[in-house]
Every structure is written in C-alpha cells, then in structure tokens.
Amino acid sequence: MIAGIGALALGIWAVRSFIAATEVFVRDAPDVPIYTLGERSSYSSALQNGTKVLKFGPIFGGVYPGGLAFASAQEARAHLEDNGWDPVRWSVYQLSGDYYLDSRDGHILRSLLVVSEAQ
C-alpha cells in the first residue's frame, strides 16, 4: 500500500513538473538575448511554417537542467565547433529570454520560445 502511494505521489509530481515546464515565458525586449542550439530539421522547418517552438527549462527537479544558454550567437557557434557538433544538423537560435535574468550555469531557467535562427 505504501509503495502504491509513493508511486502515485511520484506520478503526480512528474505531471506537475511537466505542466510547469510547458508554461512559456516571453520577454518583449531582452537586453541580452539568450542563444541556444537546436536541430535544424525540427527548429528551422517549424519556424518557417509559423509554428511556435518551445525550448524547455528545467524539468523533473533538474534531471533535465534546461536548454543550453549562451550570451551571444558567437559563443553558441564556438560551442558547436569546439565540441564537434555537425553544423549541417545543428544551428544557433535566439530565445525569448534575457541571458542575465533567465539563465544560470549555462542553462535556461524557464521554458522559452525560440524566436529565430541566428544569422
């Protein structure tokens, strides 16, 4: 019986965590935009079709720490190159948050919209 209650509590916590992660935060005019990395095949095509793209913040108590966060497109591109990510598959995208207000330790703190592909 106790194990069943524990599993139920864990399930409720997981659902609440996921629901909280899907709440999107948008800053209209961030002073220092956040840049992140994403797969071109999903991000770019969705943006071209006018679909809103969400980059998740922390989920499940930090098991997923949130999307990568960079203070500039150049920093994000350097990360791609330094870590051997395929630039045909991956690209840099601007998010709807402010780097100094909405990220910490290289990750976003809340779920944000992907605004555009960085040039």
- Percentage of the chain exceeding pLDDT 70: 79
Q: Which residue has the higher pLDDT, 48 or 23?
A: 48
75 pLDDT above the threshold of 70: yes
pTM reported for the whole predicted model:
0.81
| Cα(94)–Cα(34) distance, integer angstroms | 6
Ordered by start, the domain boundaries in the chain are 2-117
116 within 8 A of 55, measured Cβ to Cβ: no
Residue 35 CB coordination number (10 Å): 23
Nearest to 101 by CA among 89, 91, 109, 93: 109
| Per-residue pLDDT reduced to its tens digit, 28-71 | 889 999 999 999 999 999 999 999 999 989 875 667 789 999 99
pLDDT of residue 18: 54
